Structure 1
Amino acid sequence: MKIKNIFLALLATAALTSCVQDLLDTNKNPNEAQIAQPDYLLTNAIKSSVDTYWGTTNNLDGTLLFAQHVAKIQYTEIDRYIASNTTFESPWKSFYSQGLRDLAEIIKIGETENQPNYKAVATIFRSWVFLLLTDAYGDIPYSQAININEYITPAYDAQKDVYHGLLNDLKTAVALIDPTKKAISGDVIYSGNLTKWKKFANSLRYRIALRIADKEPEVAKQAIAEIPVADLIGDGETAQLVYLTSPNQNPIALFFETRDDYRVSKSIVETLKSLNDPRLPVFANKTETATPEIYIGVPNGLTTSAASALGFSKTSKIGTYFTSPQTPGVILSTAEVLFGRAEAAARGFTTENAETLYNQAIKASLKQFGITSDDVVNAYLAQPSVKYNSANYKQSIGVQKWIALFGQGLEAFAEWRRLDYPQLPPAVAGTLDGKIPVRYIYPGSEQSLNLKNYKAAVARQGADALTIKLWFDVN
């Protein structure tokens, strides 16, 4: 009887196992791969992250306003710094749940299937995404992020530790790149060119080194000393996603297909006018109704009624260059690298010539926006208002880098906070007692889902408010 019972139990177990397996087989989608493909994941991670970087919620409704590249002519609340704990929810969620999730899976595949180049490229791009997050919010989940099996509520790393970790991650990723190993696919930035990915990684290291230069100059200097100039992004090697036509158009172009509530900021229009800058007609359109000034920017932070009173047709829309479907989403440009090298030289971190590099950086920016005439370029550089001022390199580099980064809201915002130039006016009807925001506040979902770690971050870096400076921002 005992043997019979055992036999019946085994038979039942086998039947149940068979049923479960049948159920699993039945629920498999025959049209969907059961094992993630790193090339598809890489394409999706790049596009989703660049879309977020250049898109509406993070860019037009956030850092482009704070850096005063654009201004609102309708619905001006965010331009007046009226924000809630849901205002900056979208970039946080998008970066963590889309880009970083896919990149983590690629890194895992690279490790388990001995594909070091996928791991290297995913680590490099992941470093860029983490850098955007920490530049915007400060302390963030980093070392425990995207590891839900171990950390459902990840701890926040201090911003200083995130920067140090990213410097190490990028150095490790560069060492991983091996042209003799399997090539990568799905790369919509460099088409699998590993040499350019190495340059992108080193250029990111350079960016991070300068980000911490005011707090830790010796660490910054050492990091820069480890990077040969030949291993940085050069002419024609800008890291960017070149968009296509609908439905894969530039997200700013997509937005302006149906909306008209933004204009170019008065701050940048007046700066470009004062410098006789040939980029003005690239960044701004002429007013639709003819005006004596031709280009008219909107002051940041007007009330909705005051902004509307300026006239939709009598103020300058964002230039057609930026609202075209195929406008590239720039991630890190040749001009930025040259400005970085100029600053490193000015700080005494290198023996290069700061003025020469500054001029080269301006030329690279002009070229990026289609201005290549030698006469125009040389005339611009010859102006006293443009010439490099070695007595105040932060002013010279800060103003010109702010111009060169037009459209790249998060990076322009970070560099404005770090270099403290140009000196921007606060919102006309702002709500921060004459101050301009210097960070994003954390999304409300963190208070709901990760309260303990959220509170620890706030206790460490200060109140969760738009006016609380982050670790790297010393002045």
Structure 2
Amino acid sequence: MTNNINRIFIAGLVMMAVSCKKDLAEINKNPNATENPQPDYLLTASQKISADLYWGADNNFNSALLIIQHWAKIQYTEPDRYIFSNSSFTSLWNTGYAQSITNLNTIIQLPDERANVNYKNVALILRSWVFSLLTDAYGDIPYKQAGDIKNNLTPAYDTQKEVYFGLLEDLKKASAALTTSGNAIAGDIIYSGKIDRWKKLANALRFRIALRIADREPDKAKQTINEVLGDAGGLISSNTETAQFVYSTSPQQNPVSAWFDTRDEFRIAKTTLDKLTALSDPRIPVYANKPTDASVTTYVGVPSGLTTSDANNLGFAKTSRPGSYFFAPQSPAVIISYAEVLFDRAEAAARGFTTEDANALYNAAITASFNQYGITDGTIINNYLAQAAVKYDAANFKKSIGEQKWIALYGQGLEAFAEWRRLDYPQLTPAVAGVLDKKIPVRFIYPGSEQSLNGNNYKLAVANQGADNLLTKLWFDRY
């Protein structure tokens, strides 16, 4: 693991060489830059960059986790009140395109003698995941022309429908092309070169995207899901197959860990803690710490969207930080869990897309989430599942699955944000001192730089999608 992480430092030079425009590279060559980027170094770097992008402050715990009310802020509460600008969401866009996608494209385009078929298709799967994060957050985005600044310095935007449909084809192609006989890969921190698991991840992402479009394109969603279930590559089928980037120690630790080393402004949101408490959920000690003030013997959540003064008045020592699990240096960035796959299968069955047992899959999903955090006692799990508020309700599957999936996705801000918009559960109350007239954001704003650097295409996207603000619903968010 340490050797793989250390590749990132070398890959920094690699990325400098491959992400610059060709004309600038010719004019101002760096004699210390790598002329022949190696796929294993690029793969390690791309995985680390993408995991940090997904799990770090700007896109996760200082935005999406606040919107979805998993976490709340005890100070500097502006983001918790939905006070964002067109510079607030530049990280996902700029890093996603300029580093993650550009470098994954480099692997895909390397000559066959330098990057075998598995390198290229693992890169295609990762690129599809990054594109899905971008379209889930912004809506219409550059896709077909993205990551090729030599030919498309101002790439056109594709509609969200076109992006999702394209990603389904990319993932299907990648899964089919991966081969488990020969063609070993190195530099893979997520699955340690296990190609069979990359096939499962590709299928799991296809399943996820199929449900993303289910309210708009049910026939396409059903077709894709049944293709996946019939695919010999299979789906993620245990917690050991969960797709995740496992961090190392400082300075390559989990970005949440790095943040908490020097700052202390996040707490578990009262919304989440109240729900967990009402259900006597055994994940509470994982999701939250007790206050450091010894006189406070219970967990204490912070209401979402307080003013800074009101939040401060609750007391830093008298409120509960997120659980230590999430800011441990080696805590993983979960891309897609076994629990999520089971919830997805339950929903597909509930929608009539498959003949599987939705109730059994729903219970298995909750159990998998418990197991993910080391909760394996059968009595505890069965007592939880037996509660009236937990039992699967076939007449309102979106409520049952939406609420339990929201709990299971704790810490995965971007994914929880997308699923909450799609399923419309749990039914959240807007921030206490929110600035959006008692409404909750339903998308990220495009970076302000797009208006100046890619203005014509930006304007076309806004004309197609709607006003570039936090309250414009995206195509997939039908209801």
TM-score norm. by structure 2 comes to: 0.92
Residue correspondence of structure 1 range 118-267 to structure 2 within 5 A: 118-228=119-229, 231-235=234-238, 236-267=240-271
2:37 counterpart of 1:28:
no
The letter of the residue matching 2:242 is T
Which residue pairs with 2:19 in the alignment?
Answer: none
Structure-2 separation of matches of 1:58 and 1:265? 17
2:474 counterpart of 1:470:
yes
Which residue pairs with 2:287 in the alignment?
Answer: 283
State the aligned residue count: 451
| Shift in Å, 1:26 | 10
What secondary structure sits across from 1:393 in the alignment?
A: helix
Structure-2 separation of matches of 1:122 and 1:363? 32
Structure-1 separation of matches of 2:202 and 2:289? 35
Structure-2 separation of matches of 1:176 and 1:379? 45
The letter of the residue matching 1:208 is I
Q: Which digits, 9 at most, give the CA deviation of each residue in 1:166-223, with x for residues without a partner?
A: 0000011111112334211111111111110000000000000000001111110000
| Shift in Å, 1:293 | 6.5
Q: Which digits, 9 at most, give the CA deviation of each residue in 1:133-154, with x for residues without a partner?
A: 0000000110000111110100
The letter of the residue matching 1:426 is P
Structure-1 separation of matches of 2:464 and 2:207? 27
Q: Mean alpha-carbon deviation: is it higher for 90-99 or for 436-445?
A: 90-99
| Shift in Å, 1:384 | 1.2
Q: Where do 5+ consecutive residues of structure 1 fail to align?
A: 1-22
Q: Which digits, 9 at most, give the CA deviation of each residue in 1:14-66, with x for residues without a partner?
A: xxxxxxxxx9999633xx54200000000000000001100011111110001
| Shift in Å, 1:228 | 2.4
2:459 counterpart of 1:458:
no
Structure-2 separation of matches of 1:213 and 1:291? 50
Cα distance change of structure 1 residues 27 and 152 upon mapping to structure 2, 3 Å threshold? closer
Structure-1 separation of matches of 2:111 and 2:184? 12
| Shift in Å, 1:377 | 1.0
What secondary structure sits across from 1:263 in the alignment?
A: strand
| Shift in Å, 1:291 | 5.6
The letter of the residue matching 1:72 is K
Structure-2 separation of matches of 1:291 and 1:204? 46
Residue correspondence of structure 1 range 283-432 to structure 2 within 5 A: 283-290=287-294, 294-432=298-436
The letter of the residue matching 1:203 is A
| Shift in Å, 1:111 | 5.1
What secondary structure sits across from 1:226 in the alignment?
A: helix
| Shift in Å, 1:369 | 1.2
Which residue pairs with 1:75 in the alignment?
Answer: 76
Cα distance change of structure 1 residues 111 and 151 upon mapping to structure 2, 3 Å threshold? farther
Structure possessing the higher radius of gyration over alpha carbons: 1
What secondary structure sits across from 1:71 in the alignment?
A: strand
Structure-2 separation of matches of 1:151 and 1:324? 41
2:49 counterpart of 1:48:
yes
What secondary structure sits across from 2:334 in the alignment?
A: strand
Q: Percent identity?
A: 61
| Shift in Å, 1:98 | 1.2
Q: Which digits, 9 at most, give the CA deviation of each residue in 1:354-374, with x for residues without a partner?
A: 000000000000011111111
Cα distance change of structure 1 residues 357 and 39 upon mapping to structure 2, 3 Å threshold? same
The letter of the residue matching 2:66 is L
Q: Mean alpha-carbon deviation: is it higher for 422-431 or for 221-230?
A: 221-230
Structure-2 separation of matches of 1:40 and 1:271? 43
Q: Note if contact 2:81-2:431 (Cα within 8 Å) is conserved in structure 1.
A: yes
Q: Where do 5+ consecutive residues of structure 2 fail to align?
A: 1-25
